[in-house]
Structure 1
Amino acid sequence: MKNLENTLIEWEKIFNFICETGQINSLNNYSYYFLKKLNNLIPFFAANFFLFDEQEKIMGEPICFNINQKQLTLYSNYYYKLDNIRQLVFNQPGATKSTDLLDYTTWSKSEYFTDFLAKNNLYYSAGIDIHYQNRLLGTISLFRERSEPDFSLKDLIYLELIAKHAANQVYKLFLLNNIKQKKELKTKLIMKKISQEFELTEREKEVLNLLLAGQSNQKIAKELFISINTVKKHLSNIYQKAKVKSRTELTALVFKSKINNS
């Protein structure tokens, strides 16, 4: 990266950003809140955050600010093939910006620029890929309008600094998400087995699911839009079918079934 001598780094802002984004404990929410916080650190007109699986395929819907679904679909279906920046720096280390990579005199006349970027007021861009031990986890792209200043060296330094933290956080959330998915699948299989064994009705299955999630009778009633007395009636039927007398015994029965199926 260029000489940093005259670049003032506001370390307190970096520290606060890392602290705030480090508290995000859901992979599904991470990209949105990351970009929301990032806009205070590096102002942008538009942005997107893509997450990738182990095969480097996009996971779910990317989070976008000021880029609508129609624009995203057009890019995914066609314009990504014309994206010169993607061709140059995708899955590469380091923060980059468009004005360092391309000659705007030529590039501003390209189909991708005139038909896609310019029409959506995406003039300047900067971005960075997030890696954890050589594995691509995500990519962040920021955009500014032509009327705004280009991304600065300071902006690129900030991207470099926070990407290192983001790599650790996203990788941790990937691991937690995998554990959660495996647990949910296992619980689903156990629920299917128990439902068949005890011949539970669909409503009884719903009540049992919420009970195993630790919900009180009041919360189960609210979730299923039924009265507390109806919840108690369903629980009584479940206890009778499972030959238990309480929540504790029922939970123990399910837990025992999980162990036996491990």
Structure 2
Amino acid sequence: MYLSAKQTVLLGQIMQTLAEPHEELEIREIMGDLVMQLLGAQFYASYVWQPGSLSFARPTQINMDPINLRAYESYYQFHDPITPQMQRYQVAVRATDVLSLEELKKTEFFNDFLNKDGLYWGVNLYAWHQGQNLGDMRIWRDKRRENFSHDELRLLDMLQPAFVTALARAQRPAKTQDLPLNILSQRLTPREQDTARLVMLGMPDKEIARALQISTTTVRTHLENAFRKVGVSNRAALVHKLRA
């Protein structure tokens, strides 16, 4: 399998991300952006299977119409000729591996759902752990591109063990500091709250990274998100607002 220099760098970024203790939704969101770049894809969605309701929920998406996705959640997933078959696989699988493109194009799922956003060539990867589906990645290209190659399927398969491990780790309750935050903290994700608490203790980025077992780049990303959500521009202002 040949990897370009860009793909090699992206692969390293993906593995680093999956080694860090992100929240479950953050994992699926970050992976979407990186895997799209890795495979030269244009569209991404990710869901978590709900066995109680026999449905997919908790979506995240890139370059897809949210209204169209809500239609998927309420109707099209129950009239989907490919995803239930693809979900049975524990390796990366293309839409065309379970149904020919000619047959798929005859369905309302293609014409009224996929075609609205320009989705044409698709590949899915499901994270199975101890019989539970922890989440998935649905990556698509438009019809101007080619279908995903066997090498690209193998590349996704290489990522699967780390993807499963990261999602399984995110299921476990995380230990957090007891330092209280005010109501503004409800705008932050749990990981951003953890970072903010350590900032309030006066810890620099490198010490926060060690404490949370993440990279300093990820610490800065969490801080920038916290600044934006709370409406401040620096650490001192963040501490003041969260303590007020």
TM bin, normalised by shorter chain, reads 0.5 to 0.7
Paired residue for 2:2? Answer: 8
Deviation of 1:52 after TM superposition, in Å, equals 4.5
| 1:98 paired to 2:92 | no
Is the contact between residue 127 and residue 139 of structure 1 (CA under 8 Å) also seen in structure 2?
A: yes
Paired residue for 2:226? Answer: none
Is the contact between residue 42 and residue 155 of structure 1 (CA under 8 Å) also seen in structure 2?
A: yes
TM-aligned CA distance change 1:57 to 1:24, over 3 Å: farther
Q: Normalised by the size of structure 1, how large is the TM-score? A: 0.63
Q: Larger RCO: Structure 1 or Structure 2 (Cα < 8 Å, ≥ 6 residues apart)? A: 2
- What is the SS of the residue equivalent to 1:136? strand
Is the contact between residue 18 and residue 162 of structure 2 (CA under 8 Å) also seen in structure 1?
A: no
Paired residue for 1:64? Answer: 61
The structure where helix makes up a greater share of residues is 1
TM-aligned CA distance change 1:223 to 1:57, over 3 Å: farther
Distance 1:15 1:224 in 2: 35
1:132 corresponds, among 125, 129, 139, to 129
Is the contact between residue 87 and residue 126 of structure 2 (CA under 8 Å) also seen in structure 1?
A: yes
- What is the SS of the residue equivalent to 2:82? helix
Paired residue for 1:222? Answer: 240
Distance 1:136 1:108 in 2: 28
Is the contact between residue 95 and residue 128 of structure 1 (CA under 8 Å) also seen in structure 2?
A: yes
Moved more, 31-40 or 84-93: 84-93
- What is the SS of the residue equivalent to 1:84? coil
**Which residue identity does 2:115 align to in structure 1?**
A
- What is the SS of the residue equivalent to 1:72? helix
Distance 2:105 2:45 in 1: 21
TM-aligned CA distance change 1:120 to 1:53, over 3 Å: closer
1:19 corresponds, among 16, 38, 45, to 16
Looking at CA atoms only, which structure, 1 or 2, has the larger radius of gyration?
1
**Which residue identity does 2:65 align to in structure 1?**
N
Deviation of 1:39 after TM superposition, in Å, equals 1.8
Question: May I ask how many residue pairs the two structures share in their alignment?
Answer: 196
Deviation of 1:221 after TM superposition, in Å, equals 7.1
Deviation of 1:43 after TM superposition, in Å, equals 1.6
Is the contact between residue 35 and residue 47 of structure 1 (CA under 8 Å) also seen in structure 2?
A: yes
Distance 1:20 1:161 in 2: 15
Name stretches of at least 5 consecutive residues in structure 2 with no aligned partner.
186-192, 202-235
- What is the SS of the residue equivalent to 1:169? helix
TM-aligned CA distance change 1:117 to 1:28, over 3 Å: closer
Cα RMSD (Å): 3.5
**Which residue identity does 1:127 align to in structure 2?**
N
Q: Normalised by the size of structure 2, how large is the TM-score? A: 0.67
- What is the SS of the residue equivalent to 1:61? strand
Deviation of 1:174 after TM superposition, in Å, equals 1.4
TM-aligned CA distance change 1:125 to 1:26, over 3 Å: same
Paired residue for 2:146? Answer: 149
Distance 2:82 2:66 in 1: 21
Q: 1:178-231, CA deviations, whole angstroms, 9 ceiling, x for partnerless residues?
A: 245xx79xx7xxx9xxxxxxxxxxxxx959x99xx5747x668731696xxxxx
| 1:163 paired to 2:176 | no
Is the contact between residue 53 and residue 137 of structure 1 (CA under 8 Å) also seen in structure 2?
A: no
Paired residue for 2:37? Answer: 40
Q: 1:223-258, CA deviations, whole angstroms, 9 ceiling, x for partnerless residues?
A: 1696xxxxxxxxxxxxxxxxxxxxxxxxxxxxxxxx
